[in-house]
Amino acid sequence: MPQLKPYSHYNDLYDKFTIENCRKIISDTIKHEESRDQPWERKFRSNVYELYVSFEVVDRALNKNKVIEKRMKSDKEKDDFISSTKIPKLKCNFCSKQMDLDDTSFMSWVWDEKDRLLFIFQCNDCNKRRAIYNDWEEIIPKKHLCPNCNTELNKKSDIKNDTLTINYFCDKCSYKESEIVDLKVENIEEKEDNNYEEDRKRFCISEEETYKLKNWIHDFYEWIYEVINWTDPVSIAKRKEQEKFRPLENIKRFTITELEEYLSPILTEKWFINFSLWKAEIDKEIHVYFTVIDKSDKNQKHSSRIRLRKIINEAISNTNWFFMNSWKLEEKLWIIQWRLKWVDNNDELLKLIEK
């Protein structure tokens, strides 16, 4: 029997698989859906299986020609292999007569280099058989031996009412055994598939329809993308604002009293004592004078303002307090008077911090 069949055979087979796959996707989705409690989950999935099926439909349609071509080529190769393989000539092992070829089988489902042909020969004189591959490997059946005297058993087969009875008997002793094989073929009636042609139209589509469907899938994806990424303008503005002021998250916002309590011990440790804030001026910002007494030794006095500014700047670097650049310090004897400003406006704060 030739392996290569007409195009319609492969086409029908391919469509059959496509229909089966699509039906399975739908039934699996429905089954999964029924296991869910929430009605909205069911609704969502009902819409989604259309999409799953569309993927499969497009995929199968786009691969159809390639797959069928490959199958046909493979079957043609099998035919070439079979026709180019010489039938061996065999002699019977028992009576040495030339045997006749009884059957040829192609031993493969999928074509590959290891595929072989099996030839089965029969002797017309003594009915003995031999099975041999095209590469001369022979299948030698295990001998069925008598359990009493170890002689090879003879057999006689008989078919009656769909029952095959094989009787084994020993020529030497009187040993007998039989094997009964039920040959009844179960009558599997193929269920009538009323929706087959309808489903074939639906799932096995032409190339032109494939491109239409592909566009639909593309649009659907775009829509999903927009839905996922969609946010209302108020939320977008809020998120941008949050992002913008993120650097201010770690800023310590001290009141005047808190600042005094915070800076005093830091300055005292470096010999600037009696730090006090006083006289707040309220403008757009709050400006506060401070005084501090320098108790460090005389040799360090000339650099005291630089040291003081450095100490304070380091200490307030992470707060909403800043030196007033426009205002110069006053220094009399050992008292230093300077000004700090308190900033509360976030935009202003951000500007100053980024400096």
Q: Which residues of this chain interact with Zn ion, rule CB under 5 A? A: 92, 94-95, 123, 125-126, 146, 148-149, 151, 170, 172-173, 175
Whose Cβ is closer to Zn ion: residue 53's or residue 90's? 90
Q: How far apart are CA 159 and CA 181, in angstroms?
A: 9
* Strand ranges for the chain from DSSP E: 100-107, 116-122, 129-133, 138-139, 154-160, 163-169, 176-182, 272-282, 286-294, 321-323, 330-332, 335-342
Torsions phi, psi of 296, nearest 5?
-70, 165
- DSSP state letters, 225-236: HHHHH---HHHH
Q: From the CB of 25, what's the least distance to Zn ion, in Å?
A: 58
Q: Fill in the DSSP letter of residue 95.
A: T
Whose Cβ is closer to Zn ion: residue 79's or residue 177's? 177
Whose Cβ is closer to Zn ion: residue 71's or residue 130's? 130
Q: Fill in the DSSP letter of residue 149.
A: T
Q: From the CB of 120, what's the least distance to Zn ion, in Å?
A: 14
Whose Cβ is closer to Zn ion: residue 128's or residue 270's? 128
Residue with tokens 């020969």: 121
Q: From the CB of 97, what's the least distance to Zn ion, in Å?
A: 5
Q: How far apart are CA 328 and CA 348, in angstroms?
A: 22
Q: From the CB of 137, what's the least distance to Zn ion, in Å?
A: 21
Q: From the CB of 177, what's the least distance to Zn ion, in Å?
A: 11
Whose Cβ is closer to Zn ion: residue 151's or residue 291's? 151
